[in-house]
């Protein structure tokens, strides 16, 4: 049903799929307050990514581990720039693919492929557990990583299974560019100008707290979060909230950890109360 969120102001802390999430919320009548957590950029030097792509074409991987949908899209984009995108996609067809949650699976489907195995929890530990049940001995495994995280445990787990990991990190984050957006979001929550905050990955709450501390606003953030219902897309986000003494008031039904079920859950919960009145946005 359209307009189920008419009059409600939803804060989204999203970057990789911000446009899609905002569109889905707007279709339900929501007033969306977008707060990019960071800017995603291609690597300043494309040579390592291009070399990884050429290597994948010349000697296709036995297995492919995808940590993010954004990463696969960036790899295909990089391959297209050197006129190798079709060769690259063809080379991936023979690999068994392991996906960290649903987002890499969606990116695979965009290029006509499917993940063979997907983690129940979209975390690095979930990927390690999934790989522990697979026969990897002697395999060459392409591993798409993401920035600002130590992936030593994952790469070590692959080596321990007798396989060779061939990693690539196809993008970088520019986090400082988004600080002002996050400070504004903190103030809007504290002033009760937000009806709900939607979290779609665990890094978002970490980033919120990090920026609040940097700008001396941690108390203000806690004040705002006490006044603002938090909607969590799934268990990884909810667990991260708990680690900071916070909890989700809104959660998708039937363990459906995607954007649309999250939006439905927000519509059901927020319908129990009127939208907050506000004089500014």
Q: What gap in Å lies between CA 186 and CA 223, rounded to an integer?
A: 9
Q: What is the largest CA-CA distance in the chain?
A: 63
Give the residue-averaged pLDDT of 134-158: 95
The most confident of 22-26, 62-66, 100-104, 170-174, by mean pLDDT: 62-66
Stretch 10-16: mean pLDDT, rounded? 81
Q: Which domains does the chain have, with CATH numbers?
A: 9-38+175-270 (3.40.50.10090), 41-172 (3.40.50.10090)
* Confidence (pLDDT) at 83: 98
Q: What would the pLDDT profile of 159-208 be if each residue is shown by its tens digit?
A: 999 999 999 999 998 877 678 889 999 999 999 999 999 998 888 899 89
Statement: residue 1 has pLDDT above 70: no
Looking at residue 61, its pLDDT comes to 98
Over range 36-44, report the average pLDDT.
85
What is the CA angle 127-132-134, rounded to 5? 100
Q: At 278, is the pLDDT very low, low, confident or very high (cuts 50, 70, 90)?
A: low
Quote the CA–CA distance of 33 and 181 in Å, as a whole number.
10
Q: Please state the pTM of the whole predicted model.
A: 0.67
Q: Taking 80 as the threshold, does the pLDDT of residue 103 lie above it? A: yes
Query: Do 162 and 137 contact (CB within 8 A), yes or no?
Result: yes
116 burial level (CB within 10 Å; 0-12, 13-18, 19+)? middle
């Amino acid at each position: 049903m359209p307009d189920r969120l008419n009059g409600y102001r939803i804060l989204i802390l999203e970057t990789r799929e911000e446009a899609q999430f905002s569109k889905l919320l707007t279709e339900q009548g929501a007033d969306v307050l977008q707060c990019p957590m960071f800017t995603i950029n291609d690597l300043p030097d494309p040579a390592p990514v291009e070399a990884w792509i050429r290597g994948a074409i010349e000697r296709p991987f036995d297995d492919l581990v995808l940590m993010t949908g954004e990463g696969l899209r960036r790899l295909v984009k990089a391959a297209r720039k050197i006129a190798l995108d079709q060769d690259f996609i063809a080379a991936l067809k023979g690999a068994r693919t392991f996906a960290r949650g649903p987002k890499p699976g969606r990116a695979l489907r965009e290029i006509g492929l499917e993940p063979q195995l997907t983690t129940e929890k979209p975390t690095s530990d979930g990927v390690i557990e999934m790989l522990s049940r697979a026969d990897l001995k002697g395999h060459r495994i392409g591993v798409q990583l993401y920035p600002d995280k130590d992936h030593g445990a994952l790469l070590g787990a692959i080596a321990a299974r007798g396989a060779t990991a061939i990693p690539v990190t196809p993008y970088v984050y520019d986090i400082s560019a988004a600080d002002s957006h996050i400070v504004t979001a903190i103030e809007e929550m504290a002033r009760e100008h937000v009806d709900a905050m939607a979290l779609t990955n665990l890094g978002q709450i970490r980033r919120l707290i990090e920026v609040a501390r940097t700008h001396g606003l941690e108390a203000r953030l806690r004040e705002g979060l006490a006044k603002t219902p938090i909607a969590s897309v799934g268990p990884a986000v909810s667990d991260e909230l708990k680690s900071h003494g916070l909890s989700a008031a809104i959660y998708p039904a039937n363990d459906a950890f995607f954007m649309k079920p999250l939006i439905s859950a927000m519509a059901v919960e927020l319908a129990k109360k009127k939208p907050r009145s506000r004089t500014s946005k």
